[in-house]
Structure 1
């Protein structure tokens, strides 16, 4: 059973769910998630002999919401994660990330490799810093079709649309990102005059085979209370992230790394370049395993929980140096 507490960093009061004891394993979520998105992984990792922690990252859940996009850069949030490590009196941790949490973990490995025992990343592979600010690329794409990355850049617009019907938005976006739908069909709509709910499919009634009513209600309750602005600010900080990583333009990730992805993940299909796995291997020299998870989309840790838990705990044991079975 997870326990909950707050850790005060230099800038925010951060809510953390945790379970187990031993070397820390810190799980970093994406949008629109909270730390609860990892609740099926925490007991498995704790049972394997580790201290599993899932913070609500800045702007999400019970962690404080800041007013400006500049407070949501990876550099700022990395400060929160290092403060959590200091609170644990731990020199290093293994970091697990998906979506924005994946980008965060990759950058953490560049900025503070001495605090990283290893990384386990889901669905969002490392890629070098692009030659231009990301918003320029999104604007070009949005001239041809709707693109949420561009739509989210307009302060207050998506915030109001999504906050007006949080449960409907969450069901639609979770369903559209899963293996049960082809997310890139949202690109069939024009950008002009189109909102996010206009392009997302109607979702079947809950429960789904991979998401229960209770799990959805728990996730939705936080967004019903907070709205989505905190999460949307992460999108608005992406150009600032690009500016702040100029010194890492040619850097490669040197820490031990593992990568797993859903076979039907839309980020791998449409947002990670033409050959994401080759790019990953070229830029992460200590990449120890790459695993495709069949029958899963973007929410792979929910859609294929048993497989993902086995992969994560196997990788953790390898990092710890314990013998593992390789038959899975």
Structure 2
């Protein structure tokens, strides 16, 4: 795309790839799994055009950013170090961070550890760390005794790595469709224990869809075929380590300006954050500025409803000083 610059840097012992466009206050866009910087392709240009310096990195172990094979290298301290190192590399004291899924959790961790480096948070879909007395992988294992659970499936070293690498196009096509508003993602839980993720996912209609073309899917397929899936899966395998770490700020709230943007058919809001999570935002964030919900979108909101998602983000950015 015109205006995008692909850059590489050595940060926190990683070879980090990021895309950059624009000048002005820094906005950093953080993706989850199985995503890439490319999941922000509809937002980078418009935000840069509104007077911001936009940076969208490939996160640790995904895309063109390297990652260790050991899942213990994906804990909170390592990920926060990646973000601090990125800011230092860019020559910026602070940035506005937006994220989805693991990318947003990384931004939350940074806001707890280094609030002085976070000018604001624009949160997509995941409103907060959901308190739990039970570790995530323990909970997932218990659920997997009754039905398929993707977290438990991902947690076993070598299993998902092998299965997904053998069929990257099938997996990515199916999971993107399942997470969209065109399917009720939690129906995958109806599959029996021991089902592979690819078999648990629904059959997806042929491309193009209204929000994804064949060349766009092929970009993800090519990148994950190159990198493999282990780096992304290690974020799941480190979930218990991260859960233990986050106990140190349990009960504390973020203190930076906070904006929430969700979608009405998001699987995470339905399945992982308890009842009525939007009315509990203030329990987790001390400076909630605005909340917006987008209709007829699922977890893939940046791609499913790019115009609406971008417009809301631009509004939040314009109002961040209020």
TM-score by length of 1: 0.95
Contact 2:69 2:230 (8 Å CA) reproduced: no
- The 5 Å alignment of 1:69-84 reads 69-84=71-86
2:40 matched residue in structure 1: 38
The C-alpha deviation readout for 1:290-316, integer Å capped at 9, x for no partner, is 111001000001000001111111111
Contact 1:61 1:222 (8 Å CA) reproduced: yes
Deviating runs (4+, > 3 A) in structure 1? none
SS of residue paired to 1:16: strand
Offset of residue 104 of structure 1: 1.1
Counterpart Cα distance in 2 of 1:75 and 1:279: 27
Q: For the aligned residues, what is the CA RMSD? A: 1.2
1:318 matched residue in structure 2: 319
Contact 2:105 2:129 (8 Å CA) reproduced: no
Contact 2:11 2:89 (8 Å CA) reproduced: no
Offset of residue 130 of structure 1: 2.3
Of 168-177 and 222-231, deviating more is 222-231
Offset of residue 273 of structure 1: 1.4
Contact 2:100 2:124 (8 Å CA) reproduced: yes
- 2:158 aligned with 1:156, yes or no? yes
Contact 1:7 1:13 (8 Å CA) reproduced: yes
2:256 matched residue in structure 1: 255
Contact 1:129 1:248 (8 Å CA) reproduced: no
Offset of residue 16 of structure 1: 0.6
Counterpart Cα distance in 1 of 2:230 and 2:16: 17
- The 5 Å alignment of 1:54-69 reads 54-69=56-71
**What runs of 5+ residues in structure 1 fail to find an aligned partner?**
322-328
- 2:182 aligned with 1:180, yes or no? yes
Counterpart Cα distance in 2 of 1:201 and 1:134: 25
Aligned residues: 320
1:266 matched residue in structure 2: 267
Offset of residue 251 of structure 1: 1.1
Offset of residue 320 of structure 1: 4.5
Counterpart Cα distance in 1 of 2:113 and 2:18: 23
Offset of residue 132 of structure 1: 2.7
2:299 matched residue in structure 1: 298
SS of residue paired to 2:92: coil
Contact 2:251 2:284 (8 Å CA) reproduced: no
Counterpart Cα distance in 1 of 2:263 and 2:9: 33
**What runs of 5+ residues in structure 2 fail to find an aligned partner?**
none
SS of residue paired to 2:122: strand
- The 5 Å alignment of 1:1-328 reads 1-191=3-193, 193-320=194-321
1:324 matched residue in structure 2: none
Counterpart Cα distance in 2 of 1:150 and 1:251: 29
Contact 1:119 1:258 (8 Å CA) reproduced: yes
